[in-house]
Amino acid sequence: MAPSKDMAAFQELLRSSKNIIAVAGAGLSAASGIPTFRGAGGMWRKYDAMSLATPEGFHETPSLSWQFYHYRRETARKAQPNNAHRALAAFSLSSVRHAIVAESTFTLITQNVDGLSARANQEILSQFPTEGNEEPHMIEMHGRLFDVLCSSKECQHMEFNPASPICEALSGTENLVESGVIDPEIDASVLPKCSKCGAPARPGVVWFGEIPHHLDDIDALVEAADLCLVIGTSSTVQPAASYAFEVQNKGGKVAVFNLERSAGDRNADFRFLGPCEETLPKALGLVISDDGTISVQPSPMERLSPGSGETR
């Protein structure tokens, strides 16, 4: 049976769920101007992932890798969270979520490294200051774009470094990458170094062939989940690609929010195609104004209640 696109039926399921997780991919940030990877026009159609996003590729051509990640850092720096980020951030706060789904838990498990979900969290906390002692539940399983990691196995120092550019040699190379040209000739001696031991530093993200962060925590969340939202991902990168299947396999439900069909969505219970910055807030029962202010949409029962004055 094809996945349902009945929004009212999904919202009814949502209101009865207890342990909800969202697994997000690059499509979550597409509306913010962050390029995706495997969709039409995706980054891996333009560049060789093995040359740029593996430890082996970095060891062989650190200049190529750093130019690519400098471009990504600069792109993320200019981007702003979109309404899908904001909806997830608001839904993470119990005071907002419990008005929609009573006595529930929620965690965002993001594969994205752009930092936009974290920035959305800060935006939302500024709107709900009484929740200042509650951090939105989020796991960045592939790390953060602005983290820098020492490549020495003996050191492994990691630090947050948002400098622009991270080193002078990379200044302006983002324009070359944007046009599809990467200059491989930057000398390794002028590329970023570890601030602690002086060894070559690398982007502090999880590369292909490396183990994602917080897997034990994620496994526990997946085990307990009765609803999994799959947002902006083609569901091809493991282990995240298997999480929806695991939830479904033990009786939970899966809802997919993507711009286009993907190989991993055929067995979903619900599938909502279109920009997730439009479909996701609606599905979660949230209204986001043009200035980013968030409110909870009345449920169908509230709209029909005698004290409401009229049906809306």
CB within 8 Å of 119: residues ≥ 6 apart: 80, 81, 85
Q: Is 257 exposed, middle or buried (0-12, 13-18, 19+ CB in 10 A)?
A: buried
Phi, psi of 133 (to 5 degrees): -90, 5
- Determine which one of 70, 98, 142, 157 is catalytic: 142
Per DSSP, the three-state class of 121 is helix
Length of the chain: 312
| Furthest CA-CA distance within the chain | 73
* Residue 142 known to be catalytic: yes
**Exposure b/e, 72-100, CB count within 10 A at least 16 = b:** bbbbbeebebbbbbbbbbbbbbbebbebb
Pairing outcome for strands 19-24 and 227-231? parallel
d(CA 42, CA 134): 36
Residue 298 amino acid letter: P
Active site residues: 142
